Chain A
Amino acid sequence: MKVFNKLKQRNTQIVILIAVIAITLAAWKPHVLIEGLQRACLYAVIALPMALILGIVGIINLAHGDFMMLGAYFAYFFSVYTGIDPLVAIIPAFLAFFLIGIATYRAIIKFVLGAPELNQLLLTFGLAMVLEQLANLIWTSRPVKLSLKYVSASATIGSFSFGTFEFVYIAAAIIVLIGLLFFLKRTDTGQAALAVGQNPRGAKLVGIHVDRTYLFIFSLSIALTGSIGAIFMTRHSIFPLVGAPFTMKSFCLIAMAGIGNLMGILWCSLILGLSENFVLSFRGYAGWADILFFALIVLVIIIRSHQRQVK
């Protein structure tokens, strides 16, 4: 009976689905499996901070990907001017973007917390525009990239070889996820943040400083996003609009997993990452891979709204 109940849970179903897909792919197209895993974890690690803001502060941050873009530029210039490896820039990026997060919250976000949802959406949309265009104005739209030797490291098993550096995404996703879960479940601040996310008024009544919690969670998420940008730029070339698609994809993952379900984001990103790479692996159909995410987001949101109505 217990097993049966467990089967009914969404997370369990998704895990089983992923396991089936993974085994099929491992036998048929192994490189799709490995690259898909790496891509999926990149999506997951970017989506996690956005889910944190949406779940606790209750704001959908449409400028999310653009903060990652800024983080990538930060790491790029840090590395160019100091000559230190950009992966080291993760730590200064974290600190710098924590401050940027505080400034953004204090200057902008705080004033729309009680405003209608429409105003919040438009505000972060405007913020995204400002960040993208500012980057465009300062650094121009020309893509930049550091040439790092170790990013093209590869390993060979039997007849096929694959990049090993991209496993850093998997490590990052696991670290961020476990860190966040630990923070939310085991620390006092995290528990307070969860309480605020569930019911801000109730949290205020029991003496939690709601505004400070919002400030901390927002800044923490921006800091995480900024330092993910530092990891992102080691492998990808960066330009002002590089972050924008990730905002959409992150939202897609959050909507699919359900708001507040951090673990689910990882599973959903695995499905999307694997299927996207699967489509990419067919010659001549690669152009359709872009549509997969967007088609899924529309589908998932519609199905969800129907489920809610039936209930």
Chain B
Amino acid sequence: MKGSRYLLYIAVLIILLILPLYTGVYLLNVLDIILIYLALALSWDMLLRSGQISFGMAGLFGVGGYAAALIHLQAGVSPLLSIVLGGLTAGFLACLIGMAVLQLRGMYFAIVTLALAEIFRVIIRNFPDLTGGPEGTILPSAIFAGNSTKTYWLVLAVAVISVIGSEIFRKTRIHFALTSIRNDEIVAKSSGINVFKYMVFIFAVTSAIQGITGGAYAHIYGFVSPEGSFSLNFTLLPIAMTLLGGMHSTWGSVVGAVLLGVVSEFLKLQIPYGHLLVYGIIIVITILFFPQGIVGTIGQRLKKR
């Protein structure tokens, strides 16, 4: 049973890998965007498993993007390496910030992360010499000279890394630590779990994933700007995806990201100026009527039978 499951994963991965041979550029582009949001949704959910909700995803996404772009431009590092370095920068920054703010819980943490995202944006906008200020910075060329197949593989790699990371977090003792923190922090503490250490660790790891995603995004489009890289979309869409698919699981975020990614591509054509409205409605309806999300609800039904 277990072996066949891994075979299934490998089969899906191979199909995804050879997909570019059979599809056009447009479809690859759509897949790129879906996979980027998938990685973000997973990273958000990984932090959520400890009971902490972050609204600062766009901030770390933007920091990763700017770091990758500037390291590439100023230090002449190759794009791929600069993406990794951008992710590390975001992770390191999150580690420092986490030390200061992870004493906070609930709405205070959420609001502080939202404020931090704003702070990053304002700081970057106010150093025009280094970052290009409000206009942003244009990279000399997109990564792989814009080759859509290679770009797709890069994004696929990022998404697969975050899926594997999320599964590792679910299968090892980190999972039990985080779940017990979420359920009852005092009990977790008294059973010998170092709550603070785990929180900082998971915050740094998820932020690094967001940073890598941001770096990849910056290099794919060859452009970073305060409004574009720190856009609220990168906070809102992944949250909607995870909520719709189901919180606290890997496959919930994956299902949500694929579903909403396809829907959003369709909606963009139908209502160009308000397609985010649908995301807001999805968040509200999901919270009100089935807070477990699609995967959670189906799982419950199956268990009842």
Contact = CB atoms under 8 A, between A and B. Distances in A.
Interface of A: 60, 108, 111-112, 115, 117-119, 121-123, 125-134, 136-137, 140-141, 248, 251-252, 255, 287-288, 290-291, 294-295, 297-298, 301-302, 305-306, 309
A110 B152 CA distance: 45
B119 A291 contact: yes
Nearest to B281: A130
Contacts of A131: 280
Given A118-B51, A119-B291, A297-B111, A305 B104 contact: yes
A301 B111 contact: yes
Contact of B274 (A108, A126, A134, A255): A134
B103 A123 contact: no
Nearest to A59: B107
A259 B281 CA distance: 30
A119 B279 CA distance: 16
A297 B112 contact: yes
Contacts of A126: 240, 280-284, 287
Nearest to A290: B122
B287 A301 contact: no
B10 interface: no
B239 A248 contact: no
Contacts of A255: 108, 111
Given A122-B283, A297-B112, A287 B103 contact: no
Contacts of A287: 122, 125-126
Given A137-B277, A301-B111, A302-B101, A129 B283 contact: yes
A140 to B, nearest CB: 7
A233 B118 CA distance: 25
B213 to A, nearest CB: 21
A99 to B, nearest CB: 20
A140 B274 CA distance: 9
A112 B119 contact: no
B231 to A, nearest CB: 12
A306 B108 CA distance: 13
Shortest beta-carbon contacts, A-B, top 10: A126-B283, A129-B280, A137-B274, A133-B277, A130-B280, A294-B115, A126-B284, A291-B122, A123-B287, A287-B126
A301 B108 contact: yes
B119 A122 contact: no
B31 interface: no
B100 interface: yes
28 contacts: A60-B107, A60-B111, A111-B288, A112-B288, A118-B53, A119-B291, A126-B240, A129-B236, A129-B283, A130-B277, A133-B274, A137-B273, A137-B274, A141-B273, A255-B111, A290-B118, A291-B119, A291-B122, A291-B123, A294-B115, A298-B101, A298-B112, A301-B108, A301-B111, A302-B103, A302-B104, A305-B104, A305-B108
Which of A126, A141, A287 has the most chain B CB atoms inside 10 A of its CB? A126
Interface of B: 48, 51, 53, 55, 100-101, 103-104, 106-108, 110-112, 114-116, 118-119, 122-123, 125-126, 236, 239-240, 243, 271, 273-274, 276-277, 279-284, 287-288, 291
A134 B126 CA distance: 32
Contacts of B287: 112, 115, 119, 122-123, 126
A136 B284 contact: no
Given A118-B53, A129-B276, A137 B271 contact: yes
A125 B286 CA distance: 13
B300 to A, nearest CB: 17
A123 B126 contact: no
Contacts of B111: 60, 248, 251, 255, 297, 301
A136 B108 CA distance: 29
A50 B114 CA distance: 18
Contact of B112 (A108, A288, A301): A301
A141 B271 CA distance: 14
Given A118-B51, A291-B119, A302 B280 contact: no
A141 B274 CA distance: 10
Which of A125, A130, A141 has the most chain B CB atoms inside 10 A of its CB? A125
A288 B126 contact: yes
B79 to A, nearest CB: 30
A248 B273 contact: no
A298 B116 contact: yes
Nearest to B109: A301
Contacts of A309: 103
A134 B273 CA distance: 10
Given A123-B287, A291-B122, A129 B277 contact: yes
A117 B288 CA distance: 13
